[in-house]
Amino acid sequence: MALHAEQAIAALRAGKQVLCEKPVALDLAQAEQMAAAARDYGRLLGIAYYRRLYPKLLRAKQLIADGAIGQPLLAEANYHGWLESPERAWLKDPALAGGGPLYDVGSHRIDACNFLFGKPRRATGMLSNALHELAVEDSATVLIEYAGGVHAVVDVRWNSHIQRDQFRVIGVDGEISLDMLNGPALRLLDSRGNLREEHLPAHANVHYPAVENFVAAVLDGAPLACPIDEAMWTDWVTQQVMHAQSTS
């Protein structure tokens, strides 16, 4: 994370097309510098939010657009687990990782909400160390507002021995459940109580579709699944949460 901006900008300056790991950067200012470099040097800069290409998330976006749950009102996402393995100890260093689960696993869920509902209008949140004394948080709760009155709540933790990976969208006339987000199931419940389930597994290599999309964008001009100008809105949300925490 700490090297994303420096190395991406250097590669863009050298005339390279760049696919960068998520989240974009340590902060929004760095993300904006990366976006400016991509424009200035006329190169592609994609961000590897690979869940955008999960068949079930693409299907959920289609169902929402088709009115399957009526007007969307609320998205709820969580990812709970224990501390990361020792080989990923760098995630606990804010100078390298920016933050704890907010940056690591929270960024994926925030981006998924942005993918479904567009540019966020407002965001806030809270961080805490409920269990572990770390230089980064072990708990993060984010609240986001989108156009049309859609609210999203994202809760991510490193302090639960029970693994959770839940994601659902609630509308006036039904709801879509993607639990577990990394699993194959999509469940659609309508206002009459009818439940329909679809089996939509991700690629065996979850990163493959994002890489394939990036190659197609470079070679054939296909639209990027997650261009920098969209990905940086996750950094914007993260900045709002960090600001709320610092002023509380």
Question: Whose CA is closest to 48, among 222, 181, 226?
Answer: 226
* Whole-angstrom Cα Rg for the chain: 18
Question: What pLDDT does 84 receive?
Answer: 72
pLDDT tens-digit series, residues 181-204 = 999 999 999 999 999 999 999 999
d(CA 174, CA 61): 14
Burial class (CB in 10 A: 0-12, 13-18, 19+), 145: middle
Is residue 21 pLDDT above 80, yes or no?
A: yes
The tokens 């690591």 sit on which residue?
104
Domains by residue range for the chain, with CATH:
52-205+228-247 (3.30.360.10)
pLDDT in tens, 26-71: 999 999 999 999 999 999 999 999 999 999 999 999 999 999 999 9
pLDDT on residue 89:
86
Q: What's the one-letter identity of residue 101?
A: P
When pLDDT is averaged across residues 7-30 and rounded to a whole number, the result is 97
Amino acid at 10: A
